[in-house]
Amino acid sequence: MKSIRFLAAVLVAAIILSHFPTGVFAQGPVSAKVEVALQRSLDNGGKADVIVYLEDRYGVGQALQKDDPQAAARRAEANWWDVSAGLGKVQGRCEMLWIINACVIRGADKALVKSLEKAAGIARIQGKTTVQLADENSSLGSGPLPVKGWNLRQIGAPSVWDMGITGVGVLVFNIDTGVDVTHPDLREGFAGEGAWADFTKNPKKEPYDDYGHGTHTMSTAVGRNGIGVAPGAKWGACKGLDKNGYGEDVWILQCFQWILTLPEGQRPQVVSNSWGGDASSCSDGKCEIFRPAVDVLRAAGIPVVFSNGNEGPGAGTAGYPAYYPGVISVSATNYQDSVSIFSSCGPGPYKGVPNPILSAPGSIVYSAVPGGYDYFSGTSMAAPHVAGAIALMHEVYDGLTVTETVRILTETAYRPPAMTLSGHDNCYGWGRLDALAAVKRVSSEYAFYSLDISFSSASGISGGFGWNGSLNPFDEGGK
């Protein structure tokens, strides 16, 4: 077991370092430092917020590999001051994004970008991008609504609670529109000071949600009174999306940075994300912007869950970052265990990397919203089911690695009859989440927790059908 963990750590470390030789992925013309779309907008006399990627001259990647965010921040700042020494006042306009060894400069014009382009040590310059929520509320339709709580019963969550497992001692974070901390189903679960950050334009010191989406997703993961998968878990949140459901890439990256800077004991065991970008609009490698951050969190032992997108049901419709290697991507199913009509499907653009990893209930899910409750649909609603299940697993054994967590989730996933092919399915993933079977498997494999249980899954089918070993469910692959 130790040798497997060591090899996994070495692999992840190599992946992190691969992001930092020049601070950017090699996309498009090698000689072009400035993104084509950005250059065109500046040619018309405009100004733009730009992200300046730095060549890694100070070992930022090595510091992140060692899970030393303070050292990474110091080295990235030193890197910037070295590179920008001859650029005058622009030095003080930098907002550091050390997690990707880059710098944000607001309101840059063509002349400034030209000077940055000529500076030695700058790898690439690109404009900022915007991501949005992965919800599809219009899918509710006009038919009768399913019985409240169908989603939790389908994955076996109440049966896990009956064992005394509710996620106690586990911390779940999300990056979303915020969370209504005053809601009765969430108020007592808030982890308190140090478990909230807001990087949007008008940040607030206390948790709030001016859209409603983040409250719904968080309560699906950890809400009390029968609406959340892991009602005993604590929660924290980073607001990276605004009141309209949109978020700047810079805000999101700042959320990832903030999570890494939290001290031991205050870091989450899982981070749930129900947002993404449209892969069809990618250019010049911009869709890769979050990948170094996701890899760093994974190297720190934090599973990162993402909704797969709502551009389905066609093949190859998954958004980013859901299709990144190392992400636990989640598609949506309905109460009949069919893939939701809106749910994006794989494959993703990386050869040998399965997408999605799992599916989970996402159609007509009842959960909390600011001031009450509502039914939402979307892969946004599916992802927090998986985050909650991971919380339950970690109460049983908190020493689970990311790779072990994914292996157990995929091996124990329920395969609905519609999954006619063996192995991985581009819409269901390795199967639909079965929280009960996953918790039993953790208890079986790690004899640190004694449960008087029998090994039958939440769906009446024994575990072990999700992964047949023919393809690693977390294969790093290559693009």
Compute the distance between CA of residue 375 and CA of residue 360 in angstroms, rounded to an integer. 16
Q: How many CB atoms lie within 10 A of CB 201?
A: 9
SS3 assignment, position 1: coil
The closest alpha carbon to 304, from 379, 405, 226, 213, belongs to 405
Determine whether 434 is an active site residue.
no
- How far is CA 133 from each of CA 41, 301, 370, rounded to the nearest angstrom? 26, 25, 17
Asked whether the CA dihedral 103, 109, 110, 112 is positive or negative, the reply is: negative
Q: Is 393 helix (H, G, I), strand (E, B) or coil?
A: helix
313: Cβ contacts below 8 Å, ≥ 6 apart = 339, 341, 342, 343, 345, 427
Strands 328-333 and 304-307, how do they pair? parallel
Q: Residue 445 and residue 437: Cα distance in Å, rounded?
A: 12
What is the rounded CA–CA span in Å between residue 234 and residue 132?
A: 26
Q: Comparing C-alpha atoms, which of 96, 112, 48, 32 is closest to residue 284?
A: 32
Is residue 328 within 8 A of residue 408, CB to CB? The reply is no
Exposed, middle or buried: residue 150 (CB in 10 Å: 0-12, 13-18, 19+)?
middle
Find the catalytic residue in 19, 56, 84, 176.
176
CB 465 within 8 A of CB 413: yes
84, 180, 198, 213: the catalytic one is 213
The two three-digit tokens of residue 73, written as one number: 């921040």
Active site residue 380: yes
Among residues 380, 443, 457, 459, the one annotated as catalytic is: 380
Whether the link from the prior residue into 356 is cis, omega within 30° of 0, is: yes
363 is catalytic: no
**Cα angle at 381 between 386 and 171, to 5 degrees?**
45
- Give the Cα separation of 380 and 438 in Å (integer): 21
Please identify which residue in the block is written with the tokens 């989440």.
433
Give first-to-last CA distance, the chain, whole Å: 29
| CA distances for 449 relative to 63, 302, 379, angstroms | 35, 22, 33
The single-letter code of the amino acid at 120 is A
Residues recognised as catalytic: 176, 213, 380
